[in-house]
Structure 1
């Protein structure tokens, strides 16, 4: 009796073709809800039966997903007519409360407008209903497929360690090899095939020679080229080495393709041989790519390796990675041969077990190596925190790999072949993906350093970090596919992402935020380019001073950022009017909580407009002297003369007292005091000091410097040099130089620079010596010390008379 499922599948395939054709027609025409209703009903019956294969369900799901996209687009349409009607309804005012009659004219108008609104909104609501139905069908299909995947993953099959299964598996494998050989022998026995092979012999020999040469020597040539390149130049070495190293994949790959073409040209292969040989380039690409990845991640050069490991560990890791690449290919060979020869489940399990066990052993060894990442560096520098997060993640992945490397082979040996295979090979592919990510991130850092001309110490700049972040995000879908996610799962996530969420009467999708970010970034970049052009090309050609130029550049920056944000909001099409009430309520709280920030911001705008201070000015504010280095929105940075920065809020400049010593120009006065001894010719002193002032190159002659005879001090006659400097910033150097010249000139003229002297004399010294007899012997002196009485003038001195010590005060040293 025929199986009814066969007839059902045969009837389902034409239905699916009709669905796909309808989708193509639908994509170019308005929504046909009648056609959709029929196809939705058919899809629901297929889903309810749960008898379709996974491939058929995936095809059905793809068709429904296209319908859903159209419904989503139709439900998001907001026609200007709807907005106009809503404005007209709002203009009529709120609807009267119950029990209150509205004028007949207003009531009729309101009713007519509401009817028109319902007519316009009907297509939108119908699209939303169809969207929900399509979404439900897709959800049911996904549930069925996931349940089947889970059941297949946990399916218990024959145990491959059962010796009774080994003979059949070996016999099947030998039979496949024998059939392959038989196909070659049959072709060789054919005179026609041999004639064709002889005719292609020159081409075959050429391709064989070329292929063997590139395979055997290609990697060696490229490796040598990389070493020579690193010796020739240091600039951009990482970038050029990376690009050249790709030849370690390309050159041998060309050789393998040449060999494959040579074998095909002989015409000696049969159907099985051609099937396997067509897959050889892909397998070779896998092995070469994994080997290259191992060389890049665990480099032989100490300054290139992406992971901090000692040289022995890196060599061991490269070997393990190479073996894993070969095992990946071996596993795929078994899969393809088993599918072509239709091996039994037991035979497949037996053939795969050795590969899974070997992969588990090598994966365990690699996990042990990854647990040693950064250990030597931490031992040598226990306080280092460089790349600590990345190192911890690598170690954690190493531990996870060790666990899976043990559980996977055990599960396969028990009979859970799918579960064991799903633990081992996805883990290997995950390591390969992480290796690619590390290599590409390092390439981004090297490329950034090459373009900007910065050293390795700047590798953690914003742009390379953002590039690494983007690469990480791009790797997440690949990681999901490795661990069993379907392409439909990713497209479903994207559909959910586009769908967004409803906020009031507005549907806000994350793509709106993405659009806002893109538009704002473009506007921000354009603003920075405009600022750079003004600062570097336009403003220097004007007569504006540095402060005015900086003010214009800063103002353009603020205006550009504001316009970029405004245009970005407009580009998303968001209606923010509903947020006006919330914003008004929050503005009061924000005003109190951020009043200091707002005050500083407004003060910063005032500073940029009035420009009482500019970058490079020498100012004093709050007792702090320094040079203005930058004026930002909230604060101003001042570099003191002790070479440290002081951050001062802008409000202090507007509300406080500020002294600007170089505002408008760098002129400033210098005062150099000096004293001479009494009896010196004051006219001569004035002449000498005036000559010193006039002949200094920084002293202005208009107004002319002069010497002030300040007065008669306690120890000297005091003079001051007073002059105007052309650059007051050099006041310390000028004062030092003038002091040197004063000392030299006074020494030449014989002028004395006095210093304070005090002579102390004692009145009635005999009074202080009362009670002091002749010198005593040592014993008597000690005895007296032990028996001091209060009458001892030394230990209990008599208060001295007033003016017992005095000075003549003339500073000339006379008593």
Structure 2
């Protein structure tokens, strides 16, 4: 009962969510009108800034966000009075077109004028919102254009080459100045008596942070493993899940320890100014390095069951080292960029200082990209074939080739002078590798969760759920990938806003919200239908007197009706106009008339079979000489299982229009016939009694109607008898026939009754004449052969003599 209520609450909860989304949409559409006075002020200022093109990128982004917010309000305001406008348009349409000759009555003319005036008043806010929306959209487009042009100019800016030795002394001097300034700042703070006094006052806090940080760094890995082992107690499944949790804890706890140490350093008060900037970024740098290390361990570990990329065992440690080195260079690049931004290095110094890190990153990318090509897949032929078809490996090969190209082109462009281009290629490639690794690791974690929950591996069961989870992960990663490669947050929000606007199909606008509502309502209706089918099949119908075929017909019919109603309600709830489907329905009717006749015929025949029920599931039928048991009746075809244990799919139209023999319709009774012959001279009365007793003594034979034995005929070789018996289950007919035949042979043997077989004797009336004729034919044949041989030998002699004669003449 509890399970029933849990199952029943799921579709109810889904329906409540759908109603909430629908109510939220309606409330948003019926919100108050925008303040056009405030909008006019903002729009005028935005247009002047766009025309001048002197504002900074930050100021333009802020202004764009404000205008985009107004644009959303104008979009929502376009749906104001929608129902009232539709009503007025319907009323005007009901009046019909205005006569051209002016013969329309005054009452109708007055009514038409009144409705037109009301329609214009109701449309006025909509038209104003559409005009404001167009203006806001144009401003947003102009701001995006300005920012994109600036980004392109900055990316393609030609600067000093880092390979020019002229810039090296200045870069070394600037770095020296920065580090000397940092050292002087920290020594001055430590040497200050007031700073030391403040540090002593915060000594308990500093000591607490130090103890916590050291304990987490020293014992964090052990604690994580212990906690996961306790969590795992009692189950042997889900090895990958628990290893994932252990690895995550072994990274997270030491990272928290480093954060605690940084808090202890901040509590001393010694770090100020530039040190505060660096210390503020240290948690991010530590998280980045720990995260890359964790991803490398998960993606390139030594366990084939949980490795995201099944590289060769010798290549995996190398891949982990390369990934950790790339994370260090990525952090080092951010550290140098922070120093450049804080001290304001010139462009030449920045290029010289950052180029070695960029060059090393490119070389590591090339080496990492070659791992996939250098790593052989070892194993059996089946393993090689499976590995060659693995999507992950194909994708890894493609990605490896791309990062090799990027690792070469990026440093070359930076060395030429296009340093921004080199940075825009190399470092996003490193971040892309980290993102791809994260997606693969999470996908494998979802597979392990599925195995833990179900006890079955996703690859062995071909389950769709882990695949869908991986697809969703990939979709979620796409916006992050766009941000990595230089997309602005405003670009993503613009795409989302455009998607929310939807597309117009006639008078209907399809948006993501309407699609979500349609899917949610249909899912709720589908679950309710399945729930009702399950309740009828297991609780209601078994308590009635209907047979199994009638119960299956009712359940199937409710399923078809429920799905049809779910589609209609879902489409209506999504705001889609069904009247716009009239053209589609007309096209479908033409298609049905030409190419879909058989499909429609089978569909209608399936409905007839479910209603009339001439056959039902479990019936033994014969169609076109094929015998089998009906296993499933759908709206298009019926599946029967033959006695040879293979399925035959029969179109429903053949069952309705053709001849079908149903051997078990209504009951399983059936008659069998066994024919047997006895030798001439046998006691026919005795034979009849034996056969009748054999039929009566069998358990499957009914006594009402009673079995019978018929003396059929005087055959050419035997006296023919026939046994007729009705069985309670005709499905056992073959086994009953076999058993009764065995008993007939045994009883006839005991009683000395012979079962004859056909015998034929051949008598020759004149054997002497036939012998003389055969002998004469053989004599004639022998004489012919002798004549043939004698006629052939002289010809050969003549030819020989002729040849010899010719030879003699030649010699003469």
TM-superposed CA distance for 1:247, in Å, is 1.6
TM-superposed CA distance for 1:634, in Å, is 0.9
Give 2:494's match in structure 1, choosing from 484, 492, 495.
Answer: 492
1:86 corresponds in structure 2 to: 89
Q: Does 1:717 align with 2:712?
A: no
2: distance between equivalents of 1:456 and 1:788? 88
2:556 corresponds in structure 1 to: 554
Q: Does 1:756 align with 2:758?
A: yes
2:73 corresponds in structure 1 to: 70
1:643 corresponds in structure 2 to: 645
3-state DSSP of counterpart to 1:461? coil
1:144-163 paired onto structure 2 within 5 Å: 144-163=146-165
2:5 corresponds in structure 1 to: none
Cα deviations across residues 49-94 of structure 1 (Å, max 9, x unaligned)?
0000000000000110111111111112244332222122112112
2: distance between equivalents of 1:322 and 1:227? 28
Distance change (3 Å), C-alpha of 1:495 and 1:642: same
Question: Gaps spanning 5+ residues in structure 2: where?
Answer: 1-29, 789-812
Give 1:665's match in structure 2, choosing from 640, 664, 667.
Answer: 667
**Could you tell me whether the CA contact under 8 Å between 1:371 and 1:399 is conserved in 2?**
no
1:139 corresponds in structure 2 to: 141
TM-superposed CA distance for 1:230, in Å, is 9.7
Runs ≥4 residues deviating over 6 A: 223-232, 771-774, 780-785
**Could you tell me whether the CA contact under 8 Å between 1:76 and 1:507 is conserved in 2?**
no
712-721 vs 631-640, which deviates more? Answer: 712-721
TM-superposed CA distance for 1:158, in Å, is 1.5
Cα deviations across residues 427-466 of structure 1 (Å, max 9, x unaligned)?
1222222222222223333334444454434553333333
Distance change (3 Å), C-alpha of 1:532 and 1:450: farther
Distance change (3 Å), C-alpha of 1:279 and 1:383: closer
1:301 corresponds in structure 2 to: 303
1: distance between equivalents of 2:695 and 2:787? 66
638-647 vs 454-463, which deviates more? Answer: 454-463
Q: Does 1:544 align with 2:541?
A: no
423-432 vs 65-74, which deviates more? Answer: 423-432
2: distance between equivalents of 1:235 and 1:351? 52
Distance change (3 Å), C-alpha of 1:550 and 1:463: farther
2: distance between equivalents of 1:449 and 1:673? 60
2:49 corresponds in structure 1 to: 46
3-state DSSP of counterpart to 1:601? helix
Q: Does 1:36 align with 2:36?
A: no
Question: Gaps spanning 5+ residues in structure 1: where?
Answer: 1-26, 790-815
Cα deviations across residues 640-675 of structure 1 (Å, max 9, x unaligned)?
122221111111111111112222222222223333
**Could you tell me whether the CA contact under 8 Å between 1:699 and 1:724 is conserved in 2?**
yes
**Could you tell me whether the CA contact under 8 Å between 2:387 and 2:393 is conserved in 1?**
no
1:127 corresponds in structure 2 to: 129
1:460 corresponds in structure 2 to: 462
Give 1:478's match in structure 2, choosing from 477, 480, 486.
Answer: 480
Give 2:396's match in structure 1, choosing from 394, 397, 413.
Answer: 394
2: distance between equivalents of 1:512 and 1:69? 17
2:536 corresponds in structure 1 to: 534
1: distance between equivalents of 2:718 and 2:175? 116
Distance change (3 Å), C-alpha of 1:729 and 1:319: farther
1:5 corresponds in structure 2 to: none
3-state DSSP of counterpart to 2:532? helix
Distance change (3 Å), C-alpha of 1:44 and 1:731: same
2:336 corresponds in structure 1 to: 334
Distance change (3 Å), C-alpha of 1:735 and 1:242: farther
2: distance between equivalents of 1:404 and 1:81? 59
1: distance between equivalents of 2:51 and 2:530? 59
3-state DSSP of counterpart to 1:625? strand
1:565 corresponds in structure 2 to: 567
Give 1:351's match in structure 2, choosing from 350, 353, 371.
Answer: 353
1: distance between equivalents of 2:297 and 2:230? 17
1:744 corresponds in structure 2 to: 746
3-state DSSP of counterpart to 1:700? coil
TM-superposed CA distance for 1:34, in Å, is 2.7
1:697 corresponds in structure 2 to: 699
Structure with more of its chain in helix, by fraction: 2
Cα deviations across residues 476-499 of structure 1 (Å, max 9, x unaligned)?
111111111111111111111122
1:6 corresponds in structure 2 to: none
**Could you tell me whether the CA contact under 8 Å between 1:360 and 1:424 is conserved in 2?**
yes
Length-normalised TM-score, structure 1: 0.85
Length-normalised TM-score, structure 2: 0.86
3-state DSSP of counterpart to 1:759? coil
1:653 corresponds in structure 2 to: 655
Distance change (3 Å), C-alpha of 1:600 and 1:354: same
Equivalenced residue count is: 758
Distance change (3 Å), C-alpha of 1:448 and 1:746: farther
2: distance between equivalents of 1:543 and 1:749? 50
TM-superposed CA distance for 1:627, in Å, is 1.5
Give 1:360's match in structure 2, choosing from 354, 362, 367.
Answer: 362
TM-superposed CA distance for 1:405, in Å, is 1.0
1: distance between equivalents of 2:250 and 2:360? 26
2: distance between equivalents of 1:366 and 1:257? 31
2:617 corresponds in structure 1 to: 615
Cα deviations across residues 386-432 of structure 1 (Å, max 9, x unaligned)?
85555433322221111111101111122212111111111122222
1: distance between equivalents of 2:333 and 2:320? 20
1:58 corresponds in structure 2 to: 61
Cα deviations across residues 349-372 of structure 1 (Å, max 9, x unaligned)?
222222211221121122222346
Distance change (3 Å), C-alpha of 1:696 and 1:505: closer
1: distance between equivalents of 2:628 and 2:452? 37
TM-superposed CA distance for 1:375, in Å, is 5.8
Distance change (3 Å), C-alpha of 1:56 and 1:320: same
3-state DSSP of counterpart to 1:312? coil
TM-superposed CA distance for 1:302, in Å, is 1.8
